[in-house]
Structure 1
Amino acid sequence: MQVTETLNEGLKRGYAITVTAAELDAKVREKLDEAAPEIEMKGFRKGKVPFALLKKQFGPRLLGEAMQEAVDGAINDHLAATGDRPAMQPEVKMTNEDWQEGQDVEVTLSYETLPAVPEVDLSGVEITRLSVKADDAAIDEALANLADTSKQFEDRRKGSKAKDGDQVVIDFLGKVDGEAFEGGAAEDYPLVLGSNSFIPGFEEGLVGVKVDEVKDVEVTFPENYGAAHLAGKAAVFTCTVKAVKEPKAAELNDELAKQFGAEDLEGLKKQIATSLEGEFAGASRAVAKRALLDKLDTLVSFELPEVLVEAEAGQIAHQLYHEEHPEDTNHTHGEIVTTDEHRKLAVRRVKLGLLLAELGQKNEIKVTDSELTQAILNQARQYRGQERQFFEFVQQNAAARQQIQAPIFEDKVVDFIFSQVKVEEKDATKEDLQAAVEALDVE
């Protein structure tokens, strides 16, 4: 077997691999010798079939296996000898496509190798982490929000008109082209005006109605409506108003506190304070992490595999497209062209990803089985009723496990780096933190 280097430019590598016909024949013979004792054929005792007959019967199939094993073995031996780590799956092509038995096999191997990541000096890195406490104003605001979510609706005075924010109880029947359609009718339906829970125009059409009033509300289904047969169609909903109710915020007292698992109002305030400070700490860490990654980005520079950058740029472009076009759920957009901005962000992400991976490996940072299992269970809870199927899918799918494991590993490496650099805690207000978080979206 012969391996000849054909390309060595930057991170790009190319090789020509030749597997001789004699080597293939030897591998086939080895496989036949191994299988021969268990083979039975008509007219021969078990294990006594002549070699020539075995080769004629099983040789062609074993030749394909031998060829694949020989090429795979050559590639693995090459990578072990060079220490190269391909950035993505190497490309392997057979060059003598008109190959016939008895000839040498010639293939080409090409890939981009992962770069050597330089040492990074963390001694001069300084990070400021915002520290925000849950003050009385923040707790009162959270309490008011809880009261609002727990509000009740009470009948308005007879003859009152429904206002935005009121709840109307209605019977309705919808028709398109004069024909009722499935799912377009309901009785005693409680609808909060302004909640945007119905198609555009429906709730607005009920502002000002009174009890016992019957009103036809004319609307048009959105072009991207989930039911294709209704998308873009004009419809008329005949609504009978059975009640008009105004919202009444829940009182801030011990009874409200008990609804949220606290013994009394003071206990609820403590729960809220703990929850808020947990949220503040998470947001503060995100801001500090961005600052840390910005510093790391400036500390090192090394060549990046173009194949990784292009793949990352494509993913970024695809993600941003769907954020801007949430209605395109069928991925019918065709090719999405990457821009210089996509590529610039991809370069940063690939470089930092390789750097964090290197730091994690050198410092023996690993994701434990229990950490991964807990993360899988947490994600499985998002699929109510299908938790077991999701868990089993991830357990059997290496790519899915890697997708869950990657952010855990990154966070552990970032925490390690935080422990190695100077972190200054700075008291800040909730508004300061909010502004810093909003600035993260500008990238």
Structure 2
Amino acid sequence: MAVKKLDETTYEVSAVREGEEFKHLKEHVLVHFKDAKVDGFRPGHVPANVIEKKFKKEIDGEILNHIISDEYQKAVAENELKPIADIKLEKYEIQADKAEVVFTIPVLPAFELGQYKGLEVEKENFEVTDEKVNEEIEGMRKNASKLKEVPENEEAKNDDVVNINFEGFVDGVAFDGGKAEGYDLTLGSHSFIDTFEDQIVGHKKNDEFDVNVKFPEAYHAENLKGKPALFKVKVNSIKRKEEAELNDDLAKELGFDSVDDMRAKTRENITKREEARVENEFKNKIIEKVVDGTNVEAPRALVDREIEFQINRFAQQLQMQGINLSQYFQMTGQTIDKMREDSREMAEKSVKTELVLSEISKVENITVTDEEVDNEFEVMATMYGMDKESMLNEVKKSGNYQRFADEAKYRLVNKKTIDLLVKETKVR
């Protein structure tokens, strides 16, 4: 076995089995196939050469697994590696009397922490002015506006919400992802390609018409790039915002006693929100300074995992709006590869931050008690609208309790680590 360090996050393992060693390994594997069923032979009486020919792929796979398992364990133990993901098979060759394997192991990088105590970081001072309060109240007034369906003889205009059915055609043929019914579209939002929304402006309820657009040259679907398309569109309804008036009735509708009460409580809410924002930004500045001061490489395996996590989270958010990723790509011209590329920088930063905070928690011996974890469970149960026992029972039923508990411990240790950094930082 030969182990080579390729970089701070990757080790390469090369192994060869040949001669008698290979022969014994192969015989060991063949034992598991001795009772294999082969037409024309009784179980247990199939000649070895017949088994080797019929089950060559499976036998080679078993030999590979044995070699990798042995060499992986040795490499990890002898080099004190900390693997973070599955190995990557780089080479596998098997001959009559020899097998050669090369694989890489992604590992946690070794690194030295930069300065994380005695830093000086600027903290924002803020003031809640009457202007900010009035701006917030104006926002609530506008948000209280209700969408009201306009009369059938009125035409759609920008900012209206039109409910439409549509189906797209290229060269007279309908294409995948180009059809929907009962879709709410805000005109002027530029959610759809080209001048799609502009061509709906001026139409009325129950109008059926054609919309002609052109797909972008950089569109992700090869069969649609730069192609002109025709959409058959029907307007089911047109809704327009009806602005609310600021008075005691509106204040009560929004949960206040009066407009004066609305102003007082809005000031309180802004103050709490701004205090939380300033504190959060202060913490982020500290963390960023600590991470920037530490020379650590983000393992590609962890970065790729973080990218997929971010994309899955975005997909879930879209799903809550009734849109899937495929539809999103059709509407925006985005691609999954471009999305991954755009997410990489943020993912690398996130991974580096996680590595640095984890190392600080180890150096500072930061731990959590069972009582603290139990309290965290109480908080999570409240967040889910459940009692703690019911929540934990559901988690145990799904077989995810250990991971659930580990994640809770990780969050608490992370919070304590950040609190330590804040305590050790001088406010500038």
CA displacement, residues 277-317 of structure 1 (integer Å, 9 cap, x when unaligned): 34324432443244224422442224x2674598599889x
Match of 1:40 in 2: none
Counterpart among 397, 421, 424 of residue 421 in structure 1: 424
Cα drift, residue 118 of structure 1: 0.7
CA distance in 2, matches of 1:123, 1:240: 61
The answer to whether the Cα contact below 8 Å between 2:367 and 2:413 also exists between their aligned partners in 1 is no
Give the counterpart letter for 1:130 in structure 2. E
- Secondary structure of residue in 2 paired with 1:108: strand
Match of 1:39 in 2: none
Counterpart among 214, 217, 220 of residue 211 in structure 2: 220
Match of 1:260 in 2: 254
Cα drift, residue 240 of structure 1: 12
Cα drift, residue 79 of structure 1: 0.7
Match of 1:429 in 2: none
Match of 2:86 in 1: 89
Q: Summarize the Cα distance change of 1:268–1:215 in structure 2 as closer, same or farther, 3 Å threshold.
A: same
Q: Summarize the Cα distance change of 1:257–1:333 in structure 2 as closer, same or farther, 3 Å threshold.
A: closer
Match of 1:17 in 2: 15
Give the counterpart letter for 1:249 in structure 2. A
**Aligned pairs for 1:203-218 within 5 A:** 204-205=201-202
- Secondary structure of residue in 1 paired with 2:113: coil
Q: Summarize the Cα distance change of 1:301–1:205 in structure 2 as closer, same or farther, 3 Å threshold.
A: same
The answer to whether the Cα contact below 8 Å between 2:166 and 2:231 also exists between their aligned partners in 1 is no
Match of 1:127 in 2: 121
**Aligned pairs for 1:2-151 within 5 A:** 3-5=1-3, 7-11=4-8, 12-18=10-16, 20-21=21-22, 24=25, 65=62, 68-69=65-66, 71-86=68-83, 88-92=85-89, 95-98=92-95, 100=96, 103=97, 105-151=99-145
Give the counterpart letter for 1:421 in structure 2. E
Match of 2:320 in 1: none
Match of 1:301 in 2: 295
CA distance in 2, matches of 1:314, 1:152: 38
- Secondary structure of residue in 2 paired with 1:205: coil
**Aligned pairs for 1:331-350 within 5 A:** 333=335, 336=338, 350=351
Match of 2:358 in 1: 357
Identity %: 13
The answer to whether the Cα contact below 8 Å between 2:14 and 2:103 also exists between their aligned partners in 1 is yes
- Secondary structure of residue in 2 paired with 1:359: helix
- TM-score, normalised to structure 1, is 0.54
Cα drift, residue 410 of structure 1: 9.4
The answer to whether the Cα contact below 8 Å between 1:312 and 1:350 also exists between their aligned partners in 2 is no
**Count of residues paired in the alignment:** 360
The answer to whether the Cα contact below 8 Å between 2:144 and 2:243 also exists between their aligned partners in 1 is no
Which structure 2 residue ranges, 5 or more long, are not aligned?
36-42, 170-178, 217-222, 316-324, 386-390
The answer to whether the Cα contact below 8 Å between 1:147 and 1:251 also exists between their aligned partners in 2 is yes
**1:250 maps onto 2:253 in alignment:** no
Give the counterpart letter for 2:356 in structure 1. L
The answer to whether the Cα contact below 8 Å between 1:175 and 1:237 also exists between their aligned partners in 2 is no
**Is the radius of gyration larger for structure 1 or structure 2?**
1
CA displacement, residues 107-137 of structure 1 (integer Å, 9 cap, x when unaligned): 2232354321213332221223325354433
Q: Summarize the Cα distance change of 1:66–1:106 in structure 2 as closer, same or farther, 3 Å threshold.
A: closer
- Secondary structure of residue in 2 paired with 1:17: strand
CA distance in 2, matches of 1:16, 1:221: 59
Cα drift, residue 175 of structure 1: 12
Cα drift, residue 250 of structure 1: 2.3
CA displacement, residues 313-359 of structure 1 (integer Å, 9 cap, x when unaligned): 9889x99xx99x965469884865999x9987776555434222322
Counterpart among 262, 269, 272 of residue 266 in structure 2: 272
- Secondary structure of residue in 2 paired with 1:96: strand
CA distance in 2, matches of 1:4, 1:355: 31
Give the counterpart letter for 1:17 in structure 2. A
The answer to whether the Cα contact below 8 Å between 2:164 and 2:234 also exists between their aligned partners in 1 is yes
- Secondary structure of residue in 2 paired with 1:233: strand
- Secondary structure of residue in 2 paired with 1:139: helix
Give the counterpart letter for 1:4 in structure 2. A
Q: Summarize the Cα distance change of 1:67–1:262 in structure 2 as closer, same or farther, 3 Å threshold.
A: same
Give the counterpart letter for 2:15 in structure 1. I
Which structure 1 residue ranges, 5 or more long, are not aligned?
37-49, 207-212, 381-387, 426-443
CA distance in 1, matches of 2:163, 2:348: 57
